[in-house]
Amino acid sequence: MRKTVSVWLVLNDGENKGKIASQRRFTNDSSPYICSATWAGGIEIGESEMDAVLRECKEELGEIFCNKFNFSEIKLLEKAEFVEDGEEWEVNNYVGKVSEELLKVVKMHKEAFNDFVFIGKDDAIYSKNTGKDPQKNRVLFDDQYLILKKILNGA
């Protein structure tokens, strides 16, 4: 079973207050343009969940953001298991808050568009299995769609 971490950050101020900052990758082998957590990635062999959270943050959002972000404020929301393309996965979903100002220092990694997609309670989002075009819609992998709905509904 492959294990991953996903961190979902809710804006606590600014124009997008209450919305989730999500990434949209343009170079995902099987699913380009899919929206995903603020940052996410695999847990390497021998690595703790929190070590993976820190490493992935630095890789995906840059060292400056990682050094300024208060990791003590993220909380484990849920661990979930699912099957994607015949492979078993365990995802550890974390949720936290972030200021609009801190997001300004993010340096997105080379596989993601430069700006976050902000998703709020009233925005239309779709699971990948709906077949919606991810270039024209906010489409997420099925497991991430479910957890994002929980977060947006106050979980």
* pLDDT one-digit tens code per residue, 17-27: 999 999 998 86
Position 123 scores a pLDDT of 96
CB crowding 97-115: b at 16 or more within 10 Å, else e = ebeeebbeebebbeebeee
Indicate the pLDDT class of residue 29, thresholds 50, 70 and 90: low
Position 30 scores a pLDDT of 66
Position 146 scores a pLDDT of 92
- Residue 137 tokens, joined: 């819609």
pLDDT beyond 80 at 28: no
CATH topology of domain 2-152: Nucleoside Triphosphate Pyrophosphohydrolase (3.90.79)
Distance CA 56, CA 123 (A): 27
* 12, 28, 87 from 31: Cα distances, Å: 30, 5, 16
Could you tell me which of 117, 146, 109 has the C-alpha nearest to residue 134?
Answer: 117
Report field, pTM of the whole predicted structure over 0.75: yes
Q: Is 17 helix (H, G, I), strand (E, B) or coil?
A: coil
One-letter amino acid for residue 74 of the chain: I
Q: Where are the domains of the chain?
A: 2-152
Contact at 8 Å (CB) between 59 and 109? Answer: yes
Helices (H), 24-121: 49-61, 63-68, 100-103
Could you tell me which of 86, 74, 1, 13 has the C-alpha nearest to residue 43?
Answer: 1
